[in-house]
Amino acid sequence: MIETNDPNLRCWLDEANDAACDFPIQNLPLGVFTRRGEDTDRRRVGVAIGRHVLDLSIAWPELCPDLAGLGASLFSQPTLNPFLASGRRTWTLVRNRVSRWLRTTSAELRDNGELRVRCLIPMSETVMHLPVEIGDYTDFYSSKEHATNVGMMFRDPSNALLPNWKHLPVGYHGRASSVVVSGTGVHRPCGQTNPEDAPAPNFGPCRLLDFELEVGFITGPGNELGRPIDVNHAHEHIFGMVLVNDWSARDIQKWEYVPLGPFTAKNFATSISPWVVPIDALDPYRVRTPRTEGDPPVQKYLDGAWDWNFDLNLQVGLQSTQMRERGDAPAIISRNNFSLMYWNMCQQLAHQTITGCNVRPGDLYASGTVSGTTPDSRGSMLEICWKGTQPLTLSTGEQRKFLADGDTIIMTGACHRPGLPRIGFGEVRGTILPAIGG
């Protein structure tokens, strides 16, 4: 067991020991923040603990004077990229030090009241920012259940999966510039659509706006151009994971995707959660990638690292404008588990680089829509409402086939089992704003 994952560890900050807490001492996710009222040029790196943010730009030089230079170069930064580039040895060093400061057996921060006031900030007094400068963004299509549902809706139900799907992790390159942090509003996109009853394509606001429940991973040190990453060493290039909402304009996508795939239907926004959960924190929740009798063997470069899926519970809530005004809680419209993914993140990274493609610190890779085996575990409105034929009815009596202006989507995720601490991801939240133009 990794020392920092010991379920018996306790934090002197009592709130972090609550069984329902997303950010116990065994988690220690990293993010980028400012205090409320500060200019964004004051962004720096913090660690989530309980309901507080530990400011590493202050704590590190004070508590690690022998390594103070490390803190100045890594933690007084507007993104995590320099830290991600530093590699696994530094990641482990920092995680171990922070864990030790926060344990009930340690007094160096607990009993230093002046330092604690300066570096331990209530989350309610902070603003979270995009944690990384994303150079490249790849979106995969790795849920067998999601791919099957889409294939049944739009192709032959008896042959829902395309011939390549079980042989390689299908993916496409997304738009990194429009990845936004949780809480950022998303304007309804405009574009071309071609309704079945129209003689020619139309232009205007998207009518079939959707979310996609996904989980992403963020890379650290990459590889040289021309040198693939071995599947069994791929985890060494991955720092941590985030929740992802890959917003989708279904009607725009339907018209534009042949022959090259999604383009403007996906490029308008992708939302991610602000805290990057280290894969070391998730280690106790690793599970094997599912395979069933009759699945084809995989190519040698993908045949390995089978135990890098995670038992991660996911949930999606929808809250309309009327629900907020009435004080109604979000409707939970999907519950499922990330462990069902047919291709895991190590296989995805090995496939991305098998051509010799180079990856860099801060690159984002999303899993593709996560769907389960039952109707209440589907990961998009397209599936939940089955192409608009099975509308959702909300507590206000409103119905939804796709998303309306003012709707807020809230995705959450956490690993939890009896005897182990809850490792939470917080949330990724976004509200649909009216289209601009069109």
Catalytic residue list:
146
Q: Which of 332, 330, 146, 394 is nearest to 248 (CA)?
A: 146
- Can you state the angle between helices 88-102 and 56-63, rounded to 10 degrees? 80
Contact 84/220 with Cβ under 8 angstroms?
A: yes
- Cα Dmax for the chain: 74
Q: Count of CB atoms within 10 A of residue 390's CB?
A: 11
Contact by Cβ (8 Å): 317, 335: no
Instruction: Measure CA 138 to chain center.
Output: 13
Write out the DSSP string of 280-306.
Answer: TTTGGGEEPPP--TTPPPPPGGGSS-T
Query: What are the beta bridge partners of residue 49?
Result: 52
- Contact predicate 200/312, CB 8 Å: no
Could you check whether the bond before residue 259 is cis, i.e. omega within 30 degrees of 0? yes
Residue 168, classed as helix, strand or coil, is coil
Nearest to 420 by CA among 7, 4, 5, 2: 7
How far is it, in rounded angstroms, from Cα 321 to Cα 431?
10
Tokens 């926060």 found at? 102
